[in-house]
């Protein structure tokens, strides 16, 4: 559990820094979480576990939108965006 917590904390920092690797970890992690919630609901018959499926699905949908995904192009893309922003002022 500690390793998972540390991974999520590092991923959160990477997302805030708009790092592509963090975007990938987040999308894969959320998809895995939704799959796990669905499998748990099927295996146990407990419908309350399904609440995580639409939540994770909405976050993955948001992260995979072109406008959001393009922000996570890496350091070079961030520098290019900053340059373009300065030039438009």
SS3 track for the chain = CHHHHHHHHHHHHHHHCCCHHHHHHHHHHHHHHHHHHHHHHHHHCCHHHHHHHHHHHHHHHHHCCHHHHHHHCCHHHHHHHHHHHHHCC
The pLDDT of residue 78 is 59
User: Could you tell me the two tokens for 85?
Assistant: 């922003």
Instruction: Reply yes or no on whether the pLDDT at 77 is more than 70.
Output: no
pLDDT for the residue numbered 48: 92
Task: Give me the number of domains the chain comprises.
Answer: 1
Chain segment 5-31, per-residue pLDDT in tens = 999 999 999 999 999 999 999 999 999
pLDDT, mean over the chain: 87
* Host domain of residue 8: 2-87
């Amino acid at each position: 559990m500690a390793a998972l917590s540390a991974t999520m904390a590092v991923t959160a920092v990477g997302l805030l820094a708009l790092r592509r690797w963090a975007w990938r970890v987040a999308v894969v992690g959320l998809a895995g979480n939704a799959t796990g919630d669905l499998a748990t609901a099927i295996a146990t018959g407990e419908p309350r576990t399904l609440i995580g499926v639409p939540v994770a699905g909405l976050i993955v949908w948001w992260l995979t939108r072109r406008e959001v995904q393009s922000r996570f192009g890496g350091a070079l893309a961030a520098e290019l965006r900053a340059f373009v922003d300065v030039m438009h002022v």
